[in-house]
């Protein structure tokens, strides 16, 4: 095979012609736009392929092919290809779930799916299968992929800020401002993706709630917006996330109240199969100690 | 029901744009919205294909954003082929797409797009030597594509072909 037409470029026009025109392949090929030279790259270094779907050099076959041996025309071939999917020995075609899925045809079992066949002759129009084609293995679980993607990003504790400055002291009854500085790692949104065997999952993690526990025994306060940074010189209370202690911190360990900020992260995922879901909630905490004095020790 | 919006234009002869008054006569808002969305998907598709071919990456996320199967798998296959051969795409395609037909009552609804793609500036070169791939000179050819409406409301390009027997 000295002059070998490039893999699917050549293969594609054969099938491309069929659905549109319902006639045999035209005398001159059609190729996908962006690759309008149907047969280029004549030399084919180190590719012992069969001129068709030679997927073996892309790490295929490691997706759980196990003991299974796949052959096309008697030649060994990968049982799984990252682009074509699983090999069906019966018809020597690969099948992968079409992305995205169209609704099932009338009367079809909703458990089935549209599969794209990749055969020696090229990549065909999707076919409906009530059950996965022979050789197919269950698709990866999108939630597992979502968790894998989540493991690649950092959900950091909140970047807790308060006024009065923790190095100083506050006073009973005077405004305490509470807020967090927002960055992708401490507040989101933070995105990541993971892909396996043609299924990809994208996650977006963002903080959906923020609470402050003031450490004085009272109920925590909710600040879903993250609070408002203290503008220098402000004398009033925070517009959305403030507090005023009603007692001093003298009785507390270290004579300080321990303020705990807790961010609640919501992780939403969407998969290329159309499935969506959420993981979590996950929470992260940061603490700071603040000294609150009685009013009578005011020194000004 | 398939509506013929514009015929194949020979080079230099501009067909009326989709939103022109002449088409508004029969094209209800749905047709206009669908045409716009389909053309946006088509432009996204050409851009995504180019992005995925500059430094060939068959898993490029933009492909999934604008393409659907079987074209998605075909383009991934093509891009992998570039990757395997150490070939990259440089430069730009010149494109002038227009809607040629709408079939909005089909299941799923489709919009047909016709284009005249000039790929003479869209070179295929070996990544290392920067030498052009022999026989890969581009040209101006009619291209056709189908945009399909998916259940999630997205228009994606599900089929596409360049017709090298039809210069334009």
Contacts of B127 (CB under 8 A, 6+ apart): B86, B87, B88
| Residue of chain A nearest B61, judged by CA positions | A200
Q: What are phi and psi of A212, to 5 degrees?
A: -120, 125
Contacts of A150 (CB under 8 A, 6+ apart): A192, A203, A205, A267, A279
Q: Closest approach of chain B CAs to the CA of A209, in angstroms?
A: 29
Is the Cβ–Cβ distance between A57 and A47 less than 8 Å?
yes
Is A120 a member of any domain? yes
pLDDT of residue A288: 96
SS3 annotation, chain B: CCEECCCCCCCCCCCCCCCCHHHHCCCCHHHHHHHHHHHHHHHHHHHHHHHHHHCCCCCCHHHHHHECCCHHHHHHHHHHHHHHHCEEEEECCECCCEEEEEECCCCCCEEEEEEEEECCCEEEEECCCCCECCCCCCCEEEEEEEEEECCCCCEEEEEEEEEEEEEC
Total residues found in chain B within this entry: 168
Return the structure tokens found at A218: 């009272």
Contacts of A121 (CB under 8 A, 6+ apart): A11, A14, A15, A52
How far apart are the C-alpha atoms of B35 and B42, rounded to whole Å?
Answer: 10
Sheet of A159-163, strands arranged across: A159-163, A176-181, A242-243
For A55, the domain range is 7-129
Q: Is A37 in contact with B135 (Cβ distance < 8 A)?
A: yes
Is A2 a member of any domain? no
Is A148 a member of any domain? yes
Is A134 a member of any domain? no
Interface confidence, given as ipTM, is: 0.80
Among A129, A154, A176, the domain boundary falls at A129
Return the structure tokens found at B28: 């209800």
Q: Considering its fold, how many domains does chain A have in total?
A: 2
Is A242 a member of any domain? yes
Q: Are residues A149 and A17 in the same domain?
A: no
pTM for this prediction: 0.58
The shortest CB-CB distance from B70 to any of A35, A38, A126 is to: A126
How far apart are the C-alpha atoms of B37 and B155, rounded to whole Å?
Answer: 6
Going residue by residue through chain A (300 aa), what tens digit of pLDDT does each one get? 333 333 333 333 333 333 332 233 333 334 555 554 444 454 433 333 333 333 333 333 344 445 689 999 999 999 999 999 999 999 999 999 999 999 999 888 888 899 999 999 999 999 999 988 988 877 788 999 999 999 999 999 999 999 999 999 999 999 999 999 999 999 999 999 998 876 889 999 999 999 999 999 999 999 999 999 999 999 899 999 999 999 999 999 999 999 999 999 999 999 987 889 999 899 999 999 999 999 875 555
Is A190 a member of any domain? yes
- If one counts every other C-beta atom within 10 angstroms of the C-beta of residue B25, the result is 7
Q: What is the CATH number of the domain that holds A169?
A: 2.60.40
Q: Are residues A288 and A147 in the same domain?
A: yes
Q: Closest approach of chain A CAs to the CA of B95, in angstroms?
A: 10
Q: Are residues A148 and A292 in the same domain?
A: yes
The shortest CB-CB distance from B73 to any of A29, A123, A193 is to: A123
Give domain limits for chain B: 25-167
Is A1 a member of any domain? no
Residues linked to residue A191 through DSSP beta bridges, in sequence order: A204
Is the domain spanning B25-167 CATH 3.90.25.10? The answer is: no
Among A129, A154, A182, the domain boundary falls at A129
The shortest CB-CB distance from B136 to any of A32, A40, A100 is to: A40
Q: Are residues A221 and A246 in the same domain?
A: yes
Among A74, A108, A129, the domain boundary falls at A129
Integer-rounded Cα Rg, in Å, for chain B is 17
All residues of chain B having their beta carbon less than 8 Å from the beta carbon of residue A29 are 164
Q: Are residues A293 and A204 in the same domain?
A: yes
All residues of chain B having their beta carbon less than 8 Å from the beta carbon of residue A34 are 46, 49-50, 53, 75, 78, 89, 93, 119, 122
Query: Is the N-terminal amide bond of B123 cis, ω within 30° of 0?
Result: no
Buried b (16+ CB within 10 A) or exposed e, B82-118: bbbbebbbeeebebebbbbebbbeeeebbbbbbbbbb
Q: Are residues A89 and A200 in the same domain?
A: no
Q: Are residues A122 and A151 in the same domain?
A: no
Q: Is B162 in contact with A33 (Cβ distance < 8 A)?
A: yes
Q: Is B165 in contact with A126 (Cβ distance < 8 A)?
A: no
């Amino acid at each position: 095979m000295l002059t070998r037409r490039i893999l699917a470029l050549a293969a594609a026009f054969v099938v491309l012609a069929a659905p549109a025109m319902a006639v045999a392949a035209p005398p001159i090929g059609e190729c996908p736009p962006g690759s309008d030279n149907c047969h280029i790259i004549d030399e084919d270094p180190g590719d012992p392929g069969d001129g068709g779907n030679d997927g073996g050099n892309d790490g295929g076959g490691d997706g759980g092919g196990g003991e299974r041996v796949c052959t096309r025309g008697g030649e060994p071939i990968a049982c799984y290809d990252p682009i074509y999917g699983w090999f069906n020995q019966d018809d020597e075609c690969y099948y992968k779930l079409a992305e995205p899925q169209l609704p099932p045809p009338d009367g079809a079992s909703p458990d089935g799916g549209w599969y794209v066949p990749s055969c020696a002759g090229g990549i065909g129009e999707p076919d409906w299968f009530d059950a996965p084609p022979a050789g197919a293995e269950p698709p990866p679980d999108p939630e597992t992929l979502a968790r894998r993607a989540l493991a690649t990003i950092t959900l950091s504790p909140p970047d807790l800020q308060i006024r009065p400055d923790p190095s100083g002291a506050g006073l009973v009854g005077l405004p305490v401002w509470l807020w967090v500085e927002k960055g992708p790692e401490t507040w989101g949104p933070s995105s990541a993706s993971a892909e396996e065997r043609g299924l990809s999952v994208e996650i977006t993690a963002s903080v959906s709630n923020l609470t402050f526990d003031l450490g004085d025994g009272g109920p925590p306060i909710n600040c879903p917006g993250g609070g408002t940074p203290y503008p220098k010189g402000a004398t009033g209370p925070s517009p959305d996330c403030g507090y005023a202690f009603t007692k001093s911190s003298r009785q507390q360990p270290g004579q300080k109240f321990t303020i705990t900020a807790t961010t609640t992260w919501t992780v939403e995922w969407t998969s290329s199969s159309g499935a969506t879901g959420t993981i979590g909630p996950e929470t992260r905490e940061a603490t700071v100690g603040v000294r609150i004095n009685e009013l009578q020790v005011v020194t000004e | 029901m398939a509506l013929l919006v514009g015929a194949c234009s020979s080079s230099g002869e501009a067909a009326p744009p989709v939103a022109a008054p002449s088409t508004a006569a029969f094209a209800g808002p749905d047709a206009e919205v669908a045409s716009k969305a389909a053309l946006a998907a088509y432009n996204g598709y050409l851009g995504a294909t180019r992005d995925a071919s500059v430094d060939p990456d068959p898993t490029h996320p933009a492909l999934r954003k604008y393409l659907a199967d079987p074209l998605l798998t075909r383009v991934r296959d093509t891009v992998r082929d570039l990757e395997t051969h150490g070939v990259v795409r440089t430069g730009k395609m010149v494109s002038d797409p227009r809607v040629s037909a709408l079939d909005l009552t089909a299941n799923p609804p489709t919009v047909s797009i016709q284009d005249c793609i000039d790929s003479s500036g869209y070179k295929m070169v070996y990544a290392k030597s920067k030498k052009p791939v022999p026989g890969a000179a581009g040209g101006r050819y009619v291209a056709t594509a189908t945009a399909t409406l998916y259940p999630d409301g997205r228009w994606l390009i599900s089929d596409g072909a360049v017709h090298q027997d039809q210069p334009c």
